[in-house]
Amino acid sequence: MNFSIKKICCIGAGYVGGPTMAVFANHCPNIKITVVDINQKRIQAWKSNDPAEFPIFEPQLDELVLNCRDKNLFFTTNLEKSISEADMIFISVNTPTKTKGVGAGKASDLKWVEASARQIAKFSNSHTIVVEKSTLPVKTAETIKKILSGSQENNSGKTEKSFSVLSNPEFLSEGNAINDLENPDRVLIGGDDEKAIDALSEIYSNWVPKNKILKTNIWSSELSKLTANAFLAQRISSINSISALCESTGADINQVKKAIGMDTRIGEKFLSAGPGFGGSCFQKDILNLVYLSSFYQLEEVANYWQGVIDINNWQKSRISRLVVNYLFGNVSEKKIAILGFAFKANTNDTRQSPSINICRDLLEEGAHLSIFDPKVENSKIKDDLQNDLNKIEVVQENGSWEIASSVLDAANGSDAIILLTEWDQFLNIEWNELIKLMRKPAWVFDTRSCIDFKSARKAGFNVWTIGNAPFFNE
């Protein structure tokens, strides 16, 4: 029997579920797609008439959602209905690092995945293809299969239900999600049920060339996702480690980047030094790999990947330390402008953003921070800076922070500007104007090497850009 997919349910209306299903819906007008979430506020936001209120900022997403919503794309909190009518269900829920219990600090917390599997087991009616879209440790499909196989009757107890489980990890990167989904380097489908694999492959082939659809066994698929993220993150830790060496030796990180990137075996992408990688996944997925390696008693493998995280943490803290050092070893009661709070440009996501660590370090040193980000909500910044329960007291006692309404507002009266996210609007700052508002000596710390540093120097700033020796005007 071939499976004909008419109705899809996606559990999880987050950064993956929302954009992915919007792209599916646009390419598959004959499939009804329902995105379901337990978070009522999030679902309400997806239903808003004003796209600015969508829970996720992602270039080009608005038009895709508006084009299909209430035609073949629906957002709801009604899990039972969406699951029971679906032929195919994507599990696209969060899988953060566990904070307590066995594996705390390393293993992924699979409670939301397990809850989803139990809901599917409970509400589905006939044969259902269950697709792991979330990033999961190798062998999670086994757990899902066990949960599903415990329920072979439908709601009314009449027909027998059955399941095929596939792994179809998502490789989109935030800020570029729509382009990544429209033109993926590859689509990976892991599983052992060929008909189910064909059914999913058929959906993708509406817009993805067939030679880019890769079919593997389920464990290879799960492990490839973790490995891809680990390799990408490793490149960033590698270039970041070299950025520190450049600063000490007089080499220029951008020249080194170009020289090595022209080697076709290395390639030019993903070699930008920065304040350390952020985002919800790199750290979590590498920690997961470390945990998995230790579980299989491969300590050397675990230590190797742990090193990628260690360099990343070091990079974040070395930036806060050097800012303090250049400001005469003291930032207490000095105003510092923070430009950018998102973990990268073109997203409103702040999960694991290096800005959080760097701001917290400076607050502990007693600085007064004035934070401007064009897309991150003020409440998000507040949560991020105060959420670490152990640090609430410290932050309140020592430093303080406020939200600024613009670059000028943040810079007004400050001693230094720290650029942490490479938003386009920061690339063409009028340094001549800005310096007039600042206390002297005025510093700019560019952790993304993206500003017009020559203009900043000419305007009279002391300039530090990542991976370069500092430039002193005075």
Residue 119 contacts residue 77 (beta carbons within 8 Å): no
| Count of residues engaged in binding ligand UGA, rule: CB under 6 A | 21
Q: Identify what 229 binds: ligand UGA, ligand NAD, none; CB under 5 to 8 Å per kind.
A: ligand UGA
Residue 165 contacts residue 132 (beta carbons within 8 Å): yes
Q: How far is the CB of 21 from ligand NAD (least distance, A)?
A: 11
In degrees to the nearest 10, what's the CA dihedral of 284, 286, 291, 293? 160
Residue 308 contacts residue 237 (beta carbons within 8 Å): yes
Position among 3, 8, 17, 315 found at the interface with ligand NAD (CB under 6 A): 17
Position among 24, 57, 74, 112 found at the interface with ligand NAD (CB under 6 A): 112
Q: How far is the CB of 183 from ligand NAD (least distance, A)?
A: 16
Does the protein bind ligand NAD through residue 58 (CB under 6 A)? no
Cα distances (angstroms) measured from residue 400 to each of 8, 333, 381, 394, 471: 48, 9, 13, 10, 29
Does the protein bind ligand UGA through residue 172 (CB under 6 A)? yes
Query: Which residue's structure tokens are 């950025």?
Result: 243
Compute the distance between CA of residue 252 and CA of residue 269 in angstroms, rounded to an integer.
Answer: 18
Compute the distance between CA of residue 15 and CA of residue 28 in angstroms, rounded to an integer.
Answer: 20
Residue 8 contacts residue 90 (beta carbons within 8 Å): yes
Does the protein bind ligand UGA through residue 17 (CB under 6 A)? no
Compute the distance between CA of residue 386 and CA of residue 100 in angstroms, rounded to an integer.
Answer: 20
> Binding segment for ligand NAD among 12-20, 60-68, 391-399, 404-412 (CB under 6 A)?
12-20
Does the protein bind ligand UGA through residue 418 (CB under 6 A)? no
Q: Identify what 134 binds: ligand UGA, ligand NAD, none; CB under 5 to 8 Å per kind.
A: ligand NAD
Residue 403 contacts residue 378 (beta carbons within 8 Å): yes
Q: Identify what 20 binds: ligand UGA, ligand NAD, none; CB under 5 to 8 Å per kind.
A: none
What is the rounded end-to-end Cα distance, in angstroms, of the chain? Answer: 77
Does the protein bind ligand NAD through residue 37 (CB under 6 A)? yes
Does the protein bind ligand UGA through residue 271 (CB under 6 A)? yes
Q: Is 430 a catalytic residue?
A: no
In the structure encoding, which two tokens stand for residue 338, read together?
């923070």
Q: Is 377 a catalytic residue?
A: no
Single-letter residue type at 282: F
Nearer to ligand UGA, 94 or 119 (CB): 94
Compute the distance between CA of residue 242 and CA of residue 266 in angstroms, rounded to an integer.
Answer: 15
Does the protein bind ligand UGA through residue 219 (CB under 6 A)? no
Q: Which of 32, 98, 133, 225 is catalytic?
A: 225
Does the protein bind ligand UGA through residue 272 (CB under 6 A)? yes
Angle between helices 354-364 and 378-386 (to 10 degrees): 60
Does the protein bind ligand NAD through residue 184 (CB under 6 A)? no
Residue 438 contacts residue 414 (beta carbons within 8 Å): yes
Position among 5, 16, 459, 463 found at the interface with ligand NAD (CB under 6 A): 16
Nearer to ligand UGA, 32 or 133 (CB): 133
Residue 105 contacts residue 97 (beta carbons within 8 Å): yes
Nearer to ligand NAD, 93 or 308 (CB): 93
Does the protein bind ligand NAD through residue 21 (CB under 6 A)? no
Does the protein bind ligand UGA through residue 178 (CB under 6 A)? no
Compute the distance between CA of residue 143 and CA of residue 90 in angstroms, rounded to an integer.
Answer: 16
Q: Identify what 116 binds: ligand NAD, ligand UGA, none; CB under 5 to 8 Å per kind.
A: ligand NAD
Position among 14, 191, 279, 467 found at the interface with ligand UGA (CB under 6 A): 279
Q: Which residues contact 375 (CB under 8 A, 6 or more apart)?
A: 57, 342, 347, 348
Position among 218, 233, 281, 290 found at the interface with ligand NAD (CB under 6 A): 281
Q: Give the total residue count for the chain.
A: 474
Position among 33, 64, 89, 93 found at the interface with ligand NAD (CB under 6 A): 93
Q: Is 225 a catalytic residue?
A: yes
Q: How far is the CB of 73 from ligand NAD (least distance, A)?
A: 16
Q: Identify what 230 binds: ligand NAD, ligand UGA, none; CB under 5 to 8 Å per kind.
A: none
Cα distances (angstroms) measured from residue 53 to each of 44, 236, 307, 400, 404: 9, 33, 40, 29, 21
Does the protein bind ligand NAD through residue 174 (CB under 6 A)? yes
Closest C-alpha to 416, from 365, 374, 376, 343? 365
In the structure encoding, which two tokens stand for residue 286, read together?
């590498």
> Binding segment for ligand UGA among 62-70, 116-124, 164-172, 296-304 (CB under 6 A)?
164-172
Closest C-alpha to 99, from 365, 387, 363? 387
Half-sphere exposure of 277 (CA within 13 A, CB side): 31
Does the protein bind ligand NAD through residue 280 (CB under 6 A)? yes
> Binding segment for ligand UGA among 190-198, 247-255, 273-281, 311-319 (CB under 6 A)?
273-281
Nearer to ligand NAD, 124 or 414 (CB): 124
| Residues designated as active site | 170, 225, 281
